[in-house]
Amino acid sequence: MKTTAYVLDTRTNTYLVDHNNHLSVNIHEALDIRDNSMRYRDPVYKHRKYMTRNPNLNKRVELIPRNGKSPHFAFAKSGTTTGDRSYDETYSHEVAVDVLSSMKEMTIITRGQTFNFKFTQVYREPKLELPNGKVFYPDILCVFDKDQYPDEYERWGGKLVIEVTNTHKCEDDKKLEFELCNIPIFEFSITDSRKYPPERDNNRVDSITERSKHKERLEGWLQESVCTDLIIDPISTQKHEAIHKILKSKMKDLIKVNDQNQLLIEDLESKIRPSEQQIVRLKKGCQISSEENKRLHHKISTLELTIAQQESTLAKDKSSFEKFQSSAHRRLFKLKIWVWILIFFLLASNYEYFLILIHLVQRMTNT
């Protein structure tokens, strides 16, 4: 259901303009003009023709206002067949474009950034012919002042585009061409909560009253802030050259610092080199000492084994000696007994032997 239309002056075959945009009138105003005889006789209103809101002028089709339960614009029977009768945008998209194009002051929020713009001009669905000859009709084209926004102007050249998306995203071809021409694109997506109720809920009835209420709500939301996604963020040649100059200067500074660090590294390497040689020598000496230590440990182990064996042999020899000594004592004792027996028998037989015995005893006692 079409409830708004552009107005064509049949005398000059030009569209009426409001704030640099084609004048858009709603069905109530069109019906009021048609049904009010006093106003209709006015030449200003008598020569009006209503046309569809296709951005491309060559594809617009004539409309006529119709009254009834749901007033709307209908295609005129005598309308040209060269126009695009299939063009039909959702009311959610249409009203969002209308509201945004009527705002010269916007608080645009995108990707953690906030831009508070006061535009000099805002165009609704303008025809943009790019240097390569391609033609596009962006939803909204905004122009801002260089003195008021020097950084943004240097970045984007004083203009930006807002694309309202509802059922489909911004075309890839448009994004590419706009980026090449240094035109940023802020994409405003219509979420479910911002959609026209009858378009998201089949139980809601589409009506002029419902449309007016939705437009008022949308105006209130967008006056606070316009949340977008900066899908194309180009950079101007001037800004690019300025950034390139800064980066080139930083690169020179980094090269200078790198050269200084390289000299410092070479100096440290010259100091480290003797230490490395000394470390090699110490490692070699440590290796030799380690090998010598291993040999000493081996010798010690061998000596300990030899000592253990000798101690075992000594213990055996000592035991044998003690046994021999004990046996010798027993034999000596027996010998002494036999000597005394012999002496006794000698004494009994001869006095001379008695003297010899005394002498022998004395000697034995002394020993």
* Residues in the chain with pLDDT values less than 50: none
**pLDDT at residue number 352:** 65
Where does 2-133 have alpha helices with state H? 27-35, 37-40, 43-46, 91-101
**Residues in the chain, total:** 367
The C-alpha atoms of residue 140 and residue 135 are separated, in whole angstroms, by: 15
Distance CA(300)–CA(293), nearest Å, equals: 10
pLDDT for the residue numbered 34: 82
Q: What is the pLDDT of residue 341?
A: 77
| DSSP assignments along 98-158, one per residue | HHHHT-SEEEEEETTEEEEEE-SEEEES--EE-TTS-EE--SEEEE--TTT-HHHHHHHSS
Domain range summary for the chain, segments of one domain joined by + = 4-75, 91-235, 241-363
The pLDDT, as a whole number, for residue 45 is 73
Pairing of strands 48-51, 62-66: antiparallel
Q: Provide the pLDDT for residue 277.
A: 80
User: What token pair was written down for 329?
Assistant: 């004592």
**pLDDT value at position 213?**
94
CB 26 within 8 A of CB 65: no
What pLDDT, on the 0 to 100 scale, is given for residue 88?
56
Q: What is the pTM of this model?
A: 0.61
pLDDT of residue 44: 66
